[in-house]
Amino acid sequence: MAVPSSCDWTHDVFLSFRGTDTRNTFTGNLFNSLQQRGINTFFDEDTIHEGDEITPTLLQAIEHSRIFIAVFSKDYASSTFCLNELVTILECAKPPPGRLFIPIFYDVDPSHIRYLTGTYGKAFKKHEKRFRNDKDKVQKWRNALLQAANVAGCHFKPGSESEYKFIRKIVDKISIEINRVHLNVASKPVGLKSQMLKVKSLLESNERVIMVGIYGIGGIGKSTLARAVHNLVADQFEGVCYLADIRQKTTNDDLAHLQETLLSEILGEKDIKVVDVHKGISMIKRRLQRKKVLLILDNIEKDKQLQVLVGGHDWFGSGSKIIITTRNKHLLATHGIVKVYEVQQLNKENALELFSCHAFKHGKLDPSYVDTAKRAVSYCHGLPLALEVIGSQLFGKSLAVWKSSLDIYDGVICKDIHDILKVSYDVLEENEKGIFLDIACFFNSYEIGYVKEILYLHGFHAENGIKDLTDKSLMKIDINGCVRMHDLIQDMGRAIVRQESTLEPGRRSRLWFSDDILHVLEENKGTDSIEVIIADLRKDRKVKWCGKAFGQMKNLKVLIIRNGVFSQSPQILPSSLKVLDWSGYQSSSLPFDFNPKNLAILNLPESYLKQFESFKVFEMLNFLDFEACKYLTEIPSLSRLPKLGALCVDYCTNLVRIHDSVGYLERLVLLSAQGCTQLEILVPCINLPSLETLDLRGCSCLERFPEVVGVMENIKDVYLDQTAIKQLPFTFENLVGLQRLFLRGCQRMIQLPSYIFPKCEIITSYGCRGFRSFNNEEKVRPKVFVDAMLVHNEGGWSYLNMYSRYTTSNDVLEVCTPLCETNFSRFRDKEGSASNKSSLSFWFRNNFPRIALMCQVEYEKHLDNMVLNFELNVLINGTKQLTSSCEYIFYTEKVTTQTLNFDVICKVEGVFSENEWNLVEILCEFKRLIPCDFEGGMAYRDWTTKRIVKWVFLIENKGDDLSYLDNPNSPMSTEEKFLEIEEIKERLLVLTILILLCQQLKRISRDTRNK
C-alpha cells in the first residue's frame, strides 16, 4: 500500500464510525467542529453500504489521510464494513511515522472491545457463525479490535460531561498534531541521507534525556541536517519545537521571547508570556519536565543561550531529545554534551551533483561543461552554500562567460567563504546591490510585503531585484512569506557596508548596530552618507544627545527607532524622510520646522503625541499610525492627506473625537480604532469607496454606527465586537461588498437588518464560524414595522423591528407594538387561546380584530450564541396578506426558551367581506441560521428549523362576529356548543398563567437593570 509523503495528505482526519449509532449525533457534531477549525475531515456520506468490502474511493481516502479517529460505539462491531475499514486503517497507521490513530470509546468500556464481551461479544458470535468458512477474516477483525483497544484513547459516557467540551478537547489535540508540519529541508538534498542516519543513531539510546550536538564551519549544512532529522523523528514526541537561527539573539528580551516561543510551540498555547529569562527557566522546568519533547536549537553561539533554553536534562520528560547546531565545538563541551557529530564537506561526486542541480536546467551536467564545472566546484571546498550560490550565478550562461567568471575567483587570494560569496555580490547590478545590502543589514526574517514597501521607499525596484537575488540563491522566501538569508551571506553584506568607513559609522550608508547608532547620535556625527537607520534599543537604554544629530543627515530616507529613553525630543528631522517609525516618541508634537513633503509612513506608537499638525504638507503620506498614544484626544481634519491609505488609532484611550473628514477619504483602505474606550462616535457619515477593513473592536462607549452615504463595494470586514451599538442604520446596506460582520460580545446588539444576511457572514461568538441566511436571493429594502416585536433575551426584554417584503394590493395588515406588554388590562374583554399546534386559525366577520400574540420556542442549551430568523405569515381566506420577519441574536448562555410578543392589526376597516365569514390562518416559524462552512448538514438538520412549541393569542371580542369553529356556517349541536365553551375556558386558564408569568419576567428584568 502506497504511503504518501507529508505534503500529499488529501485529508487531515478520517472518521470511522457506525452510522446508525452516531452519524446524526456525536460523530456528526465532531465532524462539524473539526471543519469549523479548518481541519479537512473525511466523513463517509453513504448511510447504506452494499456488501462488506471497502470501495476504491474510501480506500483512497484512508490512504491519503494523516490522522484516523475511530468512534467505537455499542454496535460498531456488528458492522462487518466497519471492521474491514478498521483493519485497513490500522494497516495504514503503521510506521513510517507521520500518522496517528485515535480511538474514541463512546459509551463503551475498552475491555469489552479487548475481550469481546457485551455487545461486541454478541456481534462476534454472529460473525463466527456467518463466516465459519473464513476464520482468517474473523481473526483479523479480532486482532484489529485488540490493537485498537490497547491504544490510549478518549473515553466518553453521555451524561458524565458536556459533549461539546469533550469534542473541544479532541479538536484541540488534532489541531496541535496537524500544525506540527514538516520543515523545508533543501530543494536538492544531495549527500544528506547518510549524515541524517548517523545523527539519528546518536539519538537512539536508553538514556532518560539525550542531547546531541551538530557542529561544523559556516555554510556546511548544519541547519539543513537538523531540519532533516526533525522530519524523520518528530512524530514520536508529545511536543516539538524548532528554534531557527538563534545566533544573534543574545539580549534578555530576545532570550525571553525564545522561551515564549519554545513553550508555546510545545504546549500548543498561544498566550504564554515570559516576563524575564529567570522566570522563563522556571516555567520550562515546571511545564515540560513530564513531557516527551523534541527540541532543536539552531545556530547557537553563546553559552547563555543554552543555559536559559536547555539548562539541564531534568528540565524535560523521559524520552526527550535535544539537538543543538553550532560552529563552536567547545561550546558543546562546556555544556556537557558528549554526543556530537561533525558535518562533513561533500565529496567531489556529491559536490559536482549539487552544483549541477543549480547550474543546469533539470540538474543535468552538460558534457561540454564538465571540466569547467569541476573547476568551479574546486573553489567551493565541498560547502553546499557556496556550490548553490556559484551554481545559481552561472545558470543559463555560455561557456565563455563561465570561464571569464571563474577567472575572477582565481584572483581571490584568501579563497575563504566570505571572499567566494562576495564575487556573487560584485557582479550584481546597482539596484540589486542596494536591495541586497538593505536585506543583509535590516530585513532578514521580515515579511516580504513589508520589505518590498520599505525597499520601494528607499528608492529601489523591489520586485525585479528580489527575483534576481532569489534566482542567484543570495536569499530565499520561506513558506510563511518571510525573507531568509543565510547568516554567512548576511555577514558578507554587512561587512561590505562597514568597509564604506571602517572607523566612523556616521559615514556609512546604513546603520543597524546599536552601539554605532548611539555613537552617531550622542556624538553628533551624522553625515549625508546615511540613508537608513533602524535602531532596536533596549527599553531602558538612555540616549544622551542634543536633539540635533539628524540635522546633517540630508539623505536620510528611513528612520526606525524602537525603544530607548531619549534625554530630549528631536529638534530637527530631515525633509528627505520617507519613513518615520518611532516607538515611544517622547515629544508632544513633531518639530515645528519639519517639512514632511516626502513622508509616506508616519508610525508613532506609544508616543507622547498630543496633537497632529495636519496643516503641514503631508501630500505623500500613505500610512498613519498613532497606536496607544494615550495623550492624543483628537484627530484633526485629514482632508489635506489625499493619498492616505491606512489610519490606525488603536488603544488611544483618551481619544474623544475624530474629524468628519475621515469619513470621506477616497483612498483609505484600513480604518482601525480598536480599544478607543472614550470614543462615542466614529464620524457621523462615511463614504469610503476604497475601504476594505473597519475595525472598532473594544470601543465600549461607541453607541452608533455611521450613516453610510455612498456605495462601498470594496469593504470586506467590519469589526464591532464589544461595542455599545444597539442597532445598525438602514444605510448599512450600502456596504455592498461586506463579507464578514463581527458582533462578538456585542450584548446590546440584538436586532440585525435582514437585508445584510445574504451578503456576509455574521460572527457572534469567539472561536466559532458565523452564519448566513438560508435565502441568498437579492432582496429589496423592506417595509419596516418599528419596535413591533418584544423579545425576551438574556439581557431582559427588548423591542425589535419587523420587516415585510411581501405586500398585497390591499396592504392593510401590519405588525405593531404589543399592547398587552404595556397594559394587560386593555385586553380584559378580549377572547383568548393557548395552543401548541403548528398554526392557529379563527373566523371573523366584518372588521378584522386586533390580535395579540405571544410565541414560545425552546432550544437545547448551547454554548454559542444563535442567530435566529422569526417569520410570521397571515393568510385570509387562503390568500397571503402579510409576511413579516425579524433576524436577531439570541444569547443562549442562560436562556433556552424564546418568548416573543407582538400585535397584528388592520389599519383599514371594511376591506374584507362583511357578511361572509373570513378564515384567518396564522403561521409562525423560527429558523436558526446555518454555519457558513455547513456542507453536509447531518449534524445540524435537527435544529435549523423550529416550529412554535407554545403560543397564546388574544383577540378583540367581536361577539357573534368571531368564531373558533372549523366552519361557523355549519350549525352546532348542544353538545358541540358545550364543548366549545369548555375549550375556551381551558384556553383562558392557560392564557392567564402565561400572562402572569410574562409580567413576573418583566418585573425581574426591570429589577435587574435597576440594580
Q: Give catalytic residues, as residue numbers.
A: 85
Q: At what angle do helices 370-378 and 348-359 cross, to 10 degrees?
A: 110
280, three cell numbers: 522563563
What is the four-CA torsion angle of 676, 679, 682, 683, rounded to 10 degrees?
-140
Say if strands 962-963 and 839-844 run parallel, antiparallel, or are unpaired. Answer: antiparallel
Cβ pair 774, 757 in contact under 8 A: no
List, edge to edge, every strand of the sheet that includes 293-300: 239-243, 293-300, 320-326, 209-215, 339-342
Q: What is the rounded distance in angstroms from the CA atom of residue 401 to the CA atom of residue 265?
A: 48
Q: 160-183 b/e with 16+ CB inside 10 Å = b? A: eeeeeebbeebbeebbbbbebebb
Nearest to 788 by CA among 821, 836, 755, 831: 821
Cβ pair 695, 671 in contact under 8 A: yes
Give residue 51's region: left, alpha or beta (phi > 0; psi -120 to 50). left
Burial class (CB in 10 A: 0-12, 13-18, 19+), 268: middle
Helix-strand-coil percent breakdown of the chain, rounded to 5?
Answer: 35, 20, 45
Burial class (CB in 10 A: 0-12, 13-18, 19+), 598: middle
Q: What is the rounded distance in angstroms from the CA atom of residue 22 to the CA atom of residue 19?
A: 6
Q: What is the rounded distance in angstroms from the CA atom of residue 649 to the CA atom of residue 651?
A: 7
945, three cell numbers: 428549523
Cβ pair 797, 790 in contact under 8 A: yes
Q: What is the rounded distance in angstroms from the CA atom of residue 585 to the CA atom of residue 581?
A: 9
C-alpha distances out from residue 41 to 64, 171, 176, 235, 486, Å: 11, 11, 15, 20, 38
601, three cell numbers: 509612513
Cβ pair 841, 921 in contact under 8 A: yes
DSSP secondary structure letters along 763-820 = E-STTS--EE-S--S--PPPEEEEEEEEEEETTEEEEEEEEEEE--SS--EEEE--HH
DSSP secondary structure letters along 124-146 = HHHHHHHTTT-HHHHHHHHHHHH
> ∠ CA(222), CA(225), CA(321), 5° rounding?
100
DSSP secondary structure letters along 272-308 = ---SSHHHHHHHHHHHHTTS-EEEEEEEE--HHHHHH
> Taking the CB of residue 603, how many other CB atoms lie within 10 A of it?
18
Nearest to 259 by CA among 306, 302, 227: 306
Residue that has been written with the C-alpha cell 457463525 in this structure: 129
3-state secondary structure of 467: helix
Cβ pair 782, 886 in contact under 8 A: no
Say if strands 339-342 and 209-215 run parallel, antiparallel, or are unpaired. Answer: parallel
Burial class (CB in 10 A: 0-12, 13-18, 19+), 970: exposed
Q: What is the rounded distance in angstroms from the CA atom of residue 246 to the CA atom of residue 341?
A: 19
Cβ pair 109, 118 in contact under 8 A: yes
The alpha carbon of 476 is separated from its chain's Cα centroid by a whole number of angstroms, namely 26
* Sheet strands (E) in 415-568: 476-477, 483-484, 510-511, 532-536, 542-543, 558-562, 565-566
